[in-house]
Each structure stands twice: as structure tokens, then as C-alpha cells.
Amino acid sequence: MKLRKTLFMKLSRNQIQTVSKFSNLEEKNVNSLLKKNVYASESDWIRFIKIGLLGLGAAFTLSGIVFFFAYNWNDMHKFFKLALNMSIIIAGVSAILFVKFNLTVNKIILTGISILIGVFLAVFGQIYQTGANSFDFFLGWAIFIVIWVLISDFPPLWLIFIILLNTTFITYTQQYGTDWEFEMILNVLFLINVIILTLLIFLHSKTILKNLPEWFSKTIAIFSISAITLSLIIGVSDNYSHTVLISIGLALFLYVPGMYYGIKKRNLFYLAIIPFSIILVIASLLLRITDEAVADMYLIVSLFTIGSITLLIRQIISLRKKWKVINNNEKIIHTN
């Protein structure tokens, strides 16, 4: 039997396992297949040793330094603490401006110093005992870093900033004791995040904003939908109040365009989580309809859940197949 070229297609572990299961490959053959295709090679091991030693070295040295500061914290003069913090920030800014690091490193440094600004404010608050006024702290932090966030073009930093905005709002409601119910707070959170998300998507579609990674928009979408879903579930389960009507209104107002967006952009994600949220709300509604915990209703809910989710998943899978074909056809048209 003539020997052809050796394998140029790398097998996956899964494939090797399947072939082994349904054939009479012997142990040593499987072993050599695995070694050639899957297992770590010598260069892999060298990289392992290098990264391992460097990583451990950096981590231990850094923790040693941190521990040292922790030990001496109480004895340090207050100016020293603030000066230390500020000098790291200044060092970061100088590094970005004057050292020719590549773009990603600069963005990471920018994120680091944005966080350090928060640390600075915290230390300040601790030294001067400004009281447990967290709203001012978060608001100040957000305001101070907003310019950096806008110019950064770095989604992880945007995410941190959005979390900061949400926290600022939450502390506002706690500090300035509005009589908003919990659901209303959730509704506003939903609204804020959806507005941000829609704005970003819009800017992205007009190519004003060049970089909008999937994970980022999905994370915000999940958070927003969780907020409104929770709000609806609570609203439906408690005594009916005006708030739940507002929640339902908000949800309808935004779910419909959401679904439409999903269909238009062939993005399965929104088409999956919005119906999922609706299923959860209906399930809670069913449980609420009977005043006490009635056994039969649990059975109905159980069957309803299985049925509706199966339906949802089937739809998603078939849409996926259909769109895969359409996407492939489009690719062919574009390349011709």
C-alpha cells in the first residue's frame, strides 16, 4: 500500500474517541494518534514552564508587596497613602503618553488607572471619615472617569463603567429614600441599560462606533432582561399594583422591537431570551392564580414549562438551520 502524505488535518480528541469506539484500533495506535494530534508537544511544555514560572513569580512578588503595605497601612501617614495612589495613577498616564506600548496594553493600563481613581476616592473617604455616603462616592468616581471611558474604545472598561452607573443609581435610591418599590427600581435599571444598549447598537450600525463585541451587548441584554423579568415576576406574584402595569407596558414596548431586531439581524440571541423571559413570567402568573399552593397547578406549570421550552428550542434550532443556509448563500453571492 502506497504511503501518502502524513495527516495534514488535525483530528480532535472527540473524533479519535469515536473512531476508536466503533473500530478495532489497538491501544498503541490510539496512543500514537492522540500523541500526534492532541497531546502536549515539547514546545508546548517549554511554553508551559515559561508561563508557569513567570506567572507564579509575578503573582507571588506582587502579593508580597501588597501584604507589606497591608501590614503597614495603619501606621502610614495619610499623605503617603494618597500620594502613593496618585503616583501610580500618574505613572500610568505617563506610560500611556510617553512609552510606545501597543494599543491593547494602553487600554489595559487605562482601565487599571480608572479603577485606581475609585481606590483613591475610597482611601480619601476612609482617611477623612466622610461618612458612609456611598452615592457620592460612586457618582464622583463615575464623573471622574467618564472622559477616559468615552475615548478608550475598550469594551471591558465600558462594562465596568456601566456597572458603576447602575451602582450609582441603586445607591441613590437607597440614600435618598424614595418610596419607589423594588420593582420600580428594577424597571428603571432595565430602562437605563436598554437605552445605553440601543444607543450603542445604533451608533454601531451607522459605523460611528466601530467596535461593539457580541459578548458585551449580550451581557447588557441579559442583565436588562433579567431585571425586567424579575420585576414582572414580583409584580405578578404580589398584590396587583400600578407598578406592574408600568412594567408590562415597558416590557411590551421594548420586547417587540427586540424581537424584530433579532429577526432582521438574524440574531438568535434576542429571539431566545425574550420568549424565555415571557415563559418564566407566565409560569409565575399561573402559580399566582391559585391563591394557596395547589398541587394541580404545580403539575400544570411543570408540563407547561417542558412544552413551551421544547417548542422554543425547536424553533430556534430550525431557524438556525434556515439562517445557516441563507448566510452561506450570501457568502457565495458576495464572493462571486
Partner 1 sequence: MEENQDIKNLITEISITEGDGFNYQEEIIKKDLLLNEDQPGLLIKVISILGGFWACITFFGFLMLAGLYESENGMIIIGAIFYIAVIIGNRYIKNIVLDTASVSTYLVAIGLIGFALIQREVELNYVFIIMILLAVITVIVTESKVLNFIAILIFSGHIQALIIYNEANNLLHVYNIVYVGFTTFVLMNEAKIISFSKKMNELYSPLRIGLLFSLVGGFVFLGVKGIFDTEIAYVWVTSGVIVLLVLYFVYKVIISLKINNSKTRLALLISSALILLPSIFAPAICGAVLIILLTYHQKYKTGLGLGIISLIYFIIQFYYDLELKLIEKSIILFLSGVLFIVAYVFIKRILLKGDHSDIKS
Using CB under 8 A as the binding rule, the residues of this chain from 185 to 224 that contact partner 1 are none
CB of 185 closer than 8 Å to CB of 148 = no
Distances, alpha carbon 183 to alpha carbons 173, 226, 275, 281, in Å: 12, 12, 20, 14
- Please report whether residue 178 would count as binding partner 1 according to CB under 8 A: no
CB of 221 closer than 8 Å to CB of 197 = yes
By rule CB under 8 A, what count of residues binds partner 1?
82
> Considering the complex, what minimum distance in angstroms separates the CB of residue 134 from partner 1?
28
Q: Which stretch binds partner 1 (CB under 8 A): 9-17, 80-88, 177-185, 189-197?
A: 9-17
Q: How many CB atoms lie within 10 A of CB 235?
A: 28
Half-sphere exposure for 189 (CA within 13 Å, toward CB): 30
Of the pair 184, 274, the CB lying nearest partner 1 is at 274
Q: Report long-range pairs for 169-173 (Cβ below 8 Å, ≥24 apart).
A: 171/134, 171/135, 171/138, 172/135, 172/139
Q: Which of residues 102-141 bind partner 1 (CB under 8 A)?
A: none
Q: How many CB atoms lie within 10 A of CB 330?
A: 10
Q: Which of residues 286-315 bind partner 1 (CB under 8 A)?
A: 293-296, 298-299, 301-303, 305-306, 309-310, 312-313
Options 27, 75, 214, 291; binder of partner 1; rule CB under 8 A: 27
Of the pair 56, 91, the CB lying nearest partner 1 is at 56
Q: Which stretch binds partner 1 (CB under 8 A): 38-46, 156-164, 166-174, 185-193?
A: 38-46
Of the pair 5, 100, the CB lying nearest partner 1 is at 5
CB of 193 closer than 8 Å to CB of 216 = no
- Please report whether residue 38 would count as binding partner 1 according to CB under 8 A: yes
> Considering the complex, what minimum distance in angstroms separates the CB of residue 59 from partner 1?
7
Of the pair 57, 112, the CB lying nearest partner 1 is at 57
- Please report whether residue 63 would count as binding partner 1 according to CB under 8 A: yes
CB of 65 closer than 8 Å to CB of 96 = no
- Please report whether residue 58 would count as binding partner 1 according to CB under 8 A: yes
> Considering the complex, what minimum distance in angstroms separates the CB of residue 15 from partner 1?
6
Show the cell assigned to 269.
Answer: 440571541
- Widest CA span in the chain: 84
Nearest to 290 by CA among 244, 242, 237: 237
- Please report whether residue 255 would count as binding partner 1 according to CB under 8 A: no
Compute the C-alpha angle 122/103/210, nearest 5°: 95
Amino acid making up residue 97:
L
Options 91, 203, 317, 325; binder of partner 1; rule CB under 8 A: 317
- Please report whether residue 26 would count as binding partner 1 according to CB under 8 A: yes
Taking residues 269 to 288 in sequence order and writing x for each that binds partner 1 by CB under 8 A, - otherwise, the string is x--xx--x--xx--x-----
